[in-house]
Amino acid sequence: MKVSLSWLTQYVDVDMPPEDLADALTMAGLEVESVSDRYEYLDRVVVGRIAKIASHPQADNLKICQVDVGYRVIPVVCGAPNVKKDMLAPCALPGICLPDGNIIKKDLIRGVTSEGMLCSEAELGLGASRAGIMELASKFSPGDPLNQALGLSDPVFEIDLTPNRADCLSIIGIGREVAAFKNTKVKYPEISLPESCDDISNYTSVKILDPDFCPRYAAMLVVDVKVGPSPFWLQDRLISIGLKPINNVVDATNFVMMETGQPLHAFDFDRLAENRIVVRVAQQDETFTTLDQKERRLDPEMLMICDGEKPVAIGGVMGGLNSEVENTTTRVLLESAYFDPVCIRKTAKKLVLSTDASHRFERGVDPRGTTAALHRVAQLIVEISSGKLISGTIDEHPKPLPDKIIDCSVNALNSHLGTRLDQNEIESFLRSIEFDVEKIDNDKLRVFPPSCRVDISRFEDLTEEIARLLGYDNIKTTFPLIPADDRKASRRVDSRARIKHLMTGMGFTEVINYSFINKLSCDRLQIRPDDPKRNQVEILNRLSEDQSVMRTSLVPGLLETMHRNLAMQNKNLKLFEMGNVFFSTGEIESQPIEVEMLAGLWTGIRNDALWFSEEINCDFYDLKGVVEELLKSLGVVNGAFTLMPPEFCCYTKTGYTAQVFITDEPLGLLGELHPNVLGNYDLKQTAYIFELNFDLLLKQIPTMKSARPIPKFPATARDITLIVDKNVEALKILKCVETLDQDLVESLYLFDVFEGDPTPSDKKSISFRITYRSFQETLDDDKVNRIHKNIADSLLKEFDAALPA
């Protein structure tokens, strides 16, 4: 956004240096990227005195002037009729680029060398006159830079606005900010419309067929218009901020758009079929030629402004070639509207067509400023085109936008900012930016933001405004007030931190993926149709199809991360992630169900090849050991693993998937990824994955740890090997031993499973190690052997097992 200081001072008093104004705007949240003087180019234009004039030998209408430019006299060929001896005039030296694009250089003109150019007002961009060279007062000295001699200076501020500050996409919008920190008032332009005996309702009508995309549309009609160049002051205003003048009608609409922030459009009224306006959405594959002479293909999500037969503009983006104002136009229909920002943003993006109008509409214009801007542009066009205004304004407003009302607590605001502002100070700040305020009680204010502030909708927005107006440098730095540690309140946070510490300690790297995934992820994971993971929450304003739904599992994100790493030849990965998954309830008004999960992935090698060992790939039991160690370190002692039934194995292999339980409640699963899933994600190597419900796990993590003294007496161990059926799970044997009520059994773990000769083909050999210990005495062998035999006999009977021969 460019703002010239001379234009800004029309609406607000500015009595500070440009550099200080730039700093003040930046501290108010409007970052000034640069400040430049629009007349800086006149440094290369100097005051020249015409010392001598001679006729051109080859052209009767040209003269050869010897011009004193201060440091020497240079020859300049000139054709102006008013040139005379000892006249002071602007002389452009070689190297300057004039506003009309003409680059001055040393050149031969009809065989005579010319080392500069004597300039008119129009050539310098200082006026409209082209009748002759600009004559300067005699008080100037040859060689003086013209901008210094004439005192020409107009700083132009380049302001980088954040998307939420649509109200500042205008000169008056910037003026409101200046008025706030200068404690003054904005001088709004006075609007006075001439009266007419005709009424616009006798000429035209407006019909809105889609009020969701176009809540408001206003129009006015000006007749007997004479289209031509704009007056110099209007052209100069537009040029000062980088806009190109076109004609008086179009320039007036652009001027008011930059002045007020409300985009406007002018139609040639006589080119509108049936002299009426219809606002509707486009038809599928409908085509339309815009003012840039390009044919655009449209769709039903785009808004069209039509006459009685055809489209004449793409609403909020660009007008059409078939209704543009030309030199022969005599009747002009003016448009001022409020369009849905999302609709305009999507349209501009699809058409790859960003304009000054769409830039403003997609950020949100003032919904109540529609007619004020319309009256302002109608007044200008009547003044500069000798037109006649038809009385009345068509203002179709089928879907009024509600007023915004925000309650503000003084105590809450001070708590947020760390300030001690009283109610009167806060009210004063808010009124300085044109907010209306009502006092409810000693603490509460009821605030009514102006309609131009589309970014203000809640209490936090008011807090931000007060901070801006107070000045961030004026908010004292204070230490945060942290309440006393509440173990209940921080239990989730503490547990989460412990898990991350444990996982990184086991060599895993934490990843943080997007909560949005591709809708096809469930298909890629082979999720069953009746699985809750199919209850996805769709994203309305999706960035892309790869982020079209909210995730119901952490697994897709880990697989995408694995894919990217494999593409970079990083083939050994140990990854984990903690985050929420989201399940739709099926009801539009209700919030999705959020569950916090923990997931991990291991692929590649378990350890590198060394001189004494070979490289070994990770396997199912490595990841199972990770989960076991995690549960043990968290103090969860009642975890168990069972083989997942084949019908519930979706993205993991049957027979290589375990279900994790805590006290018979399912916690999650772990297993080897199914080959089909690996193929769906274009993964070329085996991977193992686990996914646990952190919300359920949290309930099982003990709040206090129990401890017992270090044993004084030694332990003794015994091994037992059983020949059992192949389908007997080791977990069942472990649980059987736990039920035997043997207090001296300290630990029991599986250390070997064997199949093959000499074990029968339908059997397997399974070996356990049992550790015995007493806290009262040293156990002798007889007692240990007796207990061990009782356990062995119970297992042989329970599982129809046999001891090896």
Q: Which residues are annotated as a binding site for Mg(2+)?
A: 455, 461, 464-465
CA 74/CA 488 separation, integer angstroms = 88
Is the Cβ–Cβ distance between 746 and 771 less than 8 Å? yes
Q: What is the DSSP letter of 156?
A: E
Bridge partners (DSSP) of residue 157 are 3, 35
CB hemisphere CA count around 620 (13 angstroms): 16
The neighbouring-strand residues paired with 109 are 112
Between vectors from CA 363 to CA 240 and to CA 353, what angle results, nearest 5°? Answer: 70
Q: Which of 643, 608, 660, 603 is nearest to 730 (CA)?
A: 643
Binding-site annotation: residue ranges: 455, 461, 464-465
Tokens 């459009």 belong to which residue? 265
**Residues in the chain, overall count:** 805
Three-state DSSP state, 202: helix
> Contact at 8 Å (CB) between 746 and 773?
yes
- Nearest 5°: phi and psi at 599? -135, 150
Q: H helices within 701-754, ranges in order?
A: 730-738
Q: What residues form DSSP beta bridges with 234?
A: none
Q: Which of 779, 780, 784, 789 is nearest to 720 (CA)?
A: 789
| Alpha-carbon gap, residue 404 to 294, rounded angstroms | 41
Cα gap 124→119, rounded to integer Å: 7
Side-chain-side CA neighbours of 113 within 13 Å: the count stands at: 7
Alpha carbons 532 and 9: distance in angstroms, whole number: 63
Cα gap 370→374, rounded to integer Å: 6
E strands, 241-366, where?
Answer: 264-268, 277-281, 287-289, 295-297, 303-306, 311-314, 318-319, 332-338
Which residues 6+ apart lie within 8 Å of 296 measured at CB?
287, 288, 289, 290, 314, 351, 353
Select from 777, 714, 774, 767 the least CA-distant residue to 745. 774
The span from the CA of 805 to the CA of 800, in Å, is 16
Secondary structure element (H or E) that encloses residue 676, with its range: helix 675-680
- Give the separation between CA 331 and CA 322, rounded to whole angstroms: 15
For 510, list phi and psi in degrees, rounded to 5: -80, 140
Give the separation between CA 379 and CA 388, rounded to whole angstroms.
10
Q: Are strands 332-338 and 303-306 parallel, antiparallel or unpaired?
A: unpaired
Looking up tokens 């931190």, which residue turns up?
A: 497
Question: Distance (Å, rounded) from C-alpha 200 to C-alpha 219?
Answer: 9
CA nearest neighbour of 714 among 741, 744, 751, 748:
744
CA of 394: how far to CAs of 149, 200, 334, in Å?
Answer: 51, 7, 10
20: tokens are 């200080």
Supply the DSSP string of 536-557, one letter for each residue. Answer: PEEPTT-SSGGGSEE-S-SHHH
Peptide bond into 758 cis (omega under 30): yes
